[in-house]
Structure 1
């Protein structure tokens, strides 16, 4: 199965999870991540907003929303979200550096590259 097929399957699973439990922040967060990868930036942001509503202290929601906002050129809003991510996870940058190191050690370069890109955006706009 190609990436597009995997994303579509993931979307179906997240939609089912939300159908049965509409207050599931993880399902909205994950659906937002898939939407972002598919290029549906505004829809991704809407899902991150719902995830934040149900789990307002989860740093990753703000990080991913901030990255989405950078993609739209909304840098001041992105900065607000990055600052909230750091508020809820003060060691976020260090955690990402450690994760990149571990992924590289295990030769999982594709995911390490994703984390590196997120880290660079976070550093630039926070």
Structure 2
């Protein structure tokens, strides 16, 4: 019952996030797929499970704490201690002790939240752990502090590439190369992103939709498919996902990780399913897009 209560709380929270106007069409689709898979895999309906576990309230509390940290002006002592923590994190990262390195960088940020290097280094750890959306958030925070930080653009490109978002990766590598035009690693990564982007361009029909989508698939059959059920279970047992949820629930998440972490969970689930069985997932997405209840979000996507 504890398992079902937790899953129902997550589903209920994801459903609330769907109502937010600032979600992209891709995020909305990913959440819709994830909600239905979780409900079917665990046999729960969020509305039918009573729980005092309010995930959104937890995130608001974390957000408030993060805002206090962000507004904190680091003292000289804070800067010295945070620099020491960063160096310790660097050694742990080189030793592939990623979880320990993550803790060091996070503590450094708590002391000095305006140091772009700390966020960029933590992004590297998140990438190693497979937490690519969190890596993106940390890179974006680093760039908001220092817009000429080429390494942050490079790591942002890496995170996007890991999510098969090669258009965004290409743009990041191009920005990084403007700052470091002689960087051979960035040149190679840009070339790879351009090649991947060329390979995945879908064939577009006169209607403006990809022509390789499988039509007329029954949604109920999809949700009872053993593949989807196993994928949902595997996703929740993934060590990287467990680590992300553990950090959130223990109150160690930073501002950029609050509600986006739940969106990340949905997007990672959809991404893994897309990689393993693209035709099945494209069929599910098409049925979601064409359902009467999703007219508004589909229109927003087309704008």
TM-score, structure 1 length as denominator? 0.73
Q: How does 1:26-37 map to 2 (within 5 A)?
A: 26-37=117-128
Q: Is the 8 A contact 2:173 2:189 kept in 1?
A: no
Q: 1:60 aligned to 127, 148, 151, which one? A: 151
The yes-or-no answer on 1:51 pairing with 2:142 is: yes
Instruction: Name the CA distance, whole Å, in 2 between partners of 1:76 and 1:88.
Output: 19
Aligned to 1:76: 167
Residue aligning to 1:107: none
CA distance in 2, matches of 1:66, 1:60: 10
Structure scoring higher RCO (CA < 8 A, sep ≥ 6) equals 2
Match of 1:102 in 2: none
What displacement does 1:119 show? 6.0
Partner Cα distance (1:122, 1:9) in 2 = 31
Aligned residues: 101
Q: CA RMSD in A?
A: 1.9
1:72-107, CA deviations, whole angstroms, 9 ceiling, x for partnerless residues?
A: 1111111110100001111111xx4xxxxxxxxxxx
Q: In the TM superposition, what whole-angstrom CA distance separates every residue of 1:107-126 from its partner, at most 9, and x where no partner exists? A: xxxxxxxxxxx764332225
Q: Which residue, 98, 110, 116 being the options, matches 1:19?
A: 110
SS of the residue aligned with 2:158?
A: helix
Where does residue 189 of structure 2 map in the other structure? Answer: 121
Structure 1: gaps (5+ residues) = 97-117
Shift of 1:24: 1.0
User: 1:8, CA displacement in angstroms?
Assistant: 1.4
TM-score, length-normalised on structure 2? 0.32
Unaligned runs of 5+ in 2: 1-91, 195-303
Matched residue, 1:41: 132
Deviations 1:41-68 (A, max 9, x none): 0001100000111111111111111111
From the CA coordinates, give the structure whose radius of gyration is larger.
Answer: 2
